Amino acid sequence: MTQAEIYRRLAEIFEDVFLRDDIVLKPHTSAADIAGWDSLKQIDIISTAQERFGVTFTTRDLDGLTCVGDLVRAIARRI
């Protein structure tokens, strides 16, 4: 799966989690850029990503996440 495809599918997950369709994901997008992105939303994003991409993240993966680009790389490593 290409990174572009991961971004596209991740954007759908963000739409479902934040109930908005105007979020543009870039590699440096972080919690500071999206209103309401708190720890519970983070759980929703990650747990949904696990199910939809069919991957399982380790605690080390999760502790290293600071932005969308990190999440995309973590998914790419696990696919």
Partner 1 sequence: MAERRREVHPPPLRRRISARLIPIWRRTNPFLTDYKVCMAFESLGENCEFGLVQRHFGAEPLGLLRFSGVAVHHLIDALDHDFEGVGRPDQTEVHLNTHGTEYFSVDARYGFSSHSMVFAEDATPAEAAARIERRARFLRQKMLEDLRSAPKIYVYQSGDDPPRADMSSLLAALRRHGPNRLLWVKPNPDAALHGAVTLLEDGLMLGHLDRPGKVGEDWAPSHTVWMRLLRRALKLSDRERAARLGL
Closest Cα to residue 41, out of 51, 31, 52, 26? 31
Binding site for partner 1 (CB under 8 A): 19, 38-40, 42-44, 46-48, 50-51, 56, 58-59, 62
Distance in Å, CB of 2 to partner 1, minimum? 26
Distance in Å, CB of 6 to partner 1, minimum? 19
Nearer to partner 1, 2 or 59 (CB): 59
Distance in Å, CB of 71 to partner 1, minimum? 13
First-residue to last-residue Cα distance in the chain: 8
Residue 50 near residue 56, CB atoms below 8 Å: yes
Nearer to partner 1, 2 or 56 (CB): 56
Report the alpha-carbon distance of residue 56 to residue 79 in Å, rounded. Answer: 9
